[in-house]
Amino acid sequence: MPKLITRSVQSHALPLLDRFLAVRRQTETLVGPLSPEDQTIQSMPDASPTKWHLAHTTWFFETFLLKPRLAGYRPFDPAFEYLFNSYYEAVGPRHPRPQRGLITRPGVEEIGAYRRHVTEAMSRLINEAGGDPPELIELGLHHEQQHQELILMDIKHALSLNPQFPAYAAARVPTARGTALGWIDFEGGLVETGHAGREFAFDNEGPRHRSWIDPFALATRLVTCAEYQAFVDDGGYRRPEFWLSAGWECVNQRDWRAPAYWHEDSVFSLAGLRPRSGEEPVCHVSFYEAAAYAKWAGKRLPREEEWELAAADVSFDGNLLDANAPERGWLHPAPASAEGLVQMIGDVWEWTASPYVAYPGFREPAGAIGEYNGKFMANQMVLRGGCAVTPRDHIRATYRNFFPPDARWMFGGIRLAEDLR
């Protein structure tokens, strides 16, 4: 997941130091089930080894807070500045992303020592400075939470390539039977969208601005595996009339015939290979597949401002990650269990029809931090709502995730929309 940047101050209930320590512990809890070998593998260029995530999130605090702000701070290892920089050109050169899995040293134990070194120094910085600057520290925490999600996405892809289909961790199996698909109408009009207020948000969520929305309807729940199977059975992957040109090229070049992780009647999950429930939301589809399904169904994908309008009053008690105890969650999309507009938060990131571009009035911050976001505003599509591996206190209705339209390893799914005339 490309990383973003804050535009307001921290406003969580926990004091800043407590929250900092809690987020750092949460990351280490998520890594607990993984062996050193698990943490070293890089299964494709878009993914990163677990130990790289552990080090990079630590590098962020060291680079942007400790070096410039903590008197007398000594870096843990100067070589880490090169090894664990992700894409910050202003900071300096960096190790090529596709080759992260070739770095066997430093090992897991040394990276653990690096984390402890930086966590202790950050604790001193927060105590000495009274949490100043809180917005940059809060950005680092939300950055680490994004990598918590990435850790699970990336290890799922790696484990899926093992012919034994090992589980990351045991997870509960949903018992809900699903609900019928319905539609909710929205009048639209001239509305304000984007983040407002003093709570944390990444800068791409603002400025708040006016959007004109024509009347539309939104599906009450996500598209299910059974519904997507009907598209597959109807020759959806063999019929070019449903596909965007670039999507049709992907289908043929990559031999797509179903969503990622589907195996006959089973699906690979973070709990291993499991029977695929027809009632659970379809997951691990690209934007191209989502758009093709919507066209086949005679509908379309929602625009992001429509999605945000609809999500204004939804419950945030969704199927999200409990980073302190991941086995207590599903770690997988679950069937809809209530009537009305459901599954807006959690389960899967919902593809929208909106390209990832700047809102009116957007300005990149100066310096290396400005590289977080604006330079990615090309050839990406917006997703909304979080997923089953998004930390529970990391999501909000204005959150704009973004991925290239051919990406499938992230938890991408489908909600339908239609115009009202």
Q: List the structure tokens of 162.
A: 């093992």
The pLDDT of residue 373: 67
Q: How many CB atoms lie within 10 A of CB 12?
A: 14
Given a cut of 60, whether residue 169 has pLDDT beyond it is yes
- The pairs formed by 98-105 with CB atoms below 8 angstroms and a separation of 24 or more are 98/42, 98/45, 100/42, 100/48, 100/49, 100/52, 101/40, 101/41, 101/42, 101/43, 101/49, 102/42, 103/49, 103/52, 104/40
Tell me the C-alpha distance between 406 and 44, whole Å: 14
Q: List the structure tokens of 293.
A: 């399904």
The pLDDT of residue 5: 37
The pLDDT of residue 76: 97
Name the DSSP class of 102: G
Tens-place pLDDT, residues 103-137: 999 999 999 999 999 999 999 999 987 656 788 89
Fold of 183-419: paralog of FGE (formylglycine-generating enzyme) (3.90.1580)
Q: Is beta strand 412-413 parallel, antiparallel or unpaired with respect to 349-355?
A: parallel
At residue 136, φ and ψ (nearest 5 deg) are -75, -35
DSSP strand E in 44-198: where? 183-186, 189-193
The average pLDDT across 362-373 equals 74
Given a cut of 70, whether residue 166 has pLDDT beyond it is yes
Tens-place pLDDT, residues 329-354: 889 999 998 999 999 999 999 999 99
Q: In what order do the strands lie in the sheet with 216-219?
A: 183-186, 216-219, 417-419
